[in-house]
Structure 1
Amino acid sequence: MAWDEWEELKAQAADRQPTRTRLNQYPADQGGDGTQGDLVVGHKDLEAVGKAAHDLYDDFTAYSGHARVASEAAAGGLKGEGFALGSALEHVTERWTEQTRTLLDACAHISNHLRRTEIRHASDDAHIHGVVSSIAVLDEGFDTRKGT
């Protein structure tokens, strides 16, 4: 491409509608309860995300393993016959394995984090219940001393 052609293409691009960044958000004029920006997630929502991450982990482990084994066998066969494609396929298989590990690690992290979050919230709920219950017992003691 010649320099003049490059300059012409740049000028044509500048004449077109400029690209703008647009942030997606909930439009303020569409109602709502005035709590814009609050994130509310229920136990069922977290459970569904955790289950999906766990299922993806299990399924992808099995299916990616089949693909890896088949690709390694094909790469070995091609290399053994002297085809350069064998080395290329071997390289792709190595990258596939690395990317698979990354995805599986992410799925495990999500699933485990949500499981720990659920356990932690249950523990917090039990603690809060204990504190509130002890306050109620304390209040009863004051009410009893007052004679009410």
Structure 2
Amino acid sequence: MAWDEWEQLKSEAQQSKTKLQLNQYLADQGGSSTQGDLVASQKDLAAVGKAAHDLFTDFTTYSGHARVASEAAAGGLKGEGFALGGALEHVTERWSQQTKTLLDACAHISNHLRFTKNQHAADESYIAGAVSSIALLDEGFDDRKGH
């Protein structure tokens, strides 16, 4: 867009009833009172972790059934001299690789959420200790003022 065109659009927007707004969040959207803050409750994180764990567990079971059945079919077809047997065997190998990738991702999500929860708990404990130490120091200074 050329500069002249931009200026013309701005001018037209200023003259119209609707105003041009750039990089601005409208004040009253009827939503949450916290604007711009990412908030994730423990309940939300627990639901994500549970979904990842459930997917890991269920997919392990069902993908195993599919793999075993496909391997048997591929072996039977190859044994009878059908070229399709080799192709199905290739598909089964790719399926196994992709299954491992998905399961690794699910485990990573679950493990990361558990690590994050533990790390935040450790951070909270550290902060509480630091703040209480400051309060003790303040009390010491307050006591000295009286003397």
Same fold (TM over 0.5): yes
Report the residue type matching 1:96 in the other structure: W
Counterpart for residue 59 of structure 2: 60
Quickly say closer, same or farther: Cα 1:69–1:28, change in 2 above 3 A: farther
Quickly say closer, same or farther: Cα 1:137–1:60, change in 2 above 3 A: same
- Unaligned runs of 5+ residues in structure 2 are 1-24
Report the residue type matching 1:77 in the other structure: G
Aligned residues: 123
Tell me the alpha carbon deviations over residues 61-104 of structure 1, each in whole angstroms, 9 at most, x when there is no partner. 12111110111011101110112221121111111111111111
Tell me the alpha carbon deviations over residues 93-147 of structure 1, each in whole angstroms, 9 at most, x when there is no partner. 1111111111111111111111111111000000000001111111111222223
Please state whether the residue corresponding to 2:144 is helix, strand or coil: helix
Counterpart for residue 142 of structure 1: 141
Bigger relative CO (Cα 8 Å, ≥ 6 apart):
1
- Is 2:92 aligned against 1:93? yes
Identity score, percent: 78
- Is 2:123 aligned against 1:128? no
- Is 2:118 aligned against 1:119? yes
Counterpart for residue 78 of structure 1: 77
Report the residue type matching 1:81 in the other structure: E
Give the superposed CA RMSD. Answer: 2.2
Quickly say closer, same or farther: Cα 1:48–1:65, change in 2 above 3 A: same
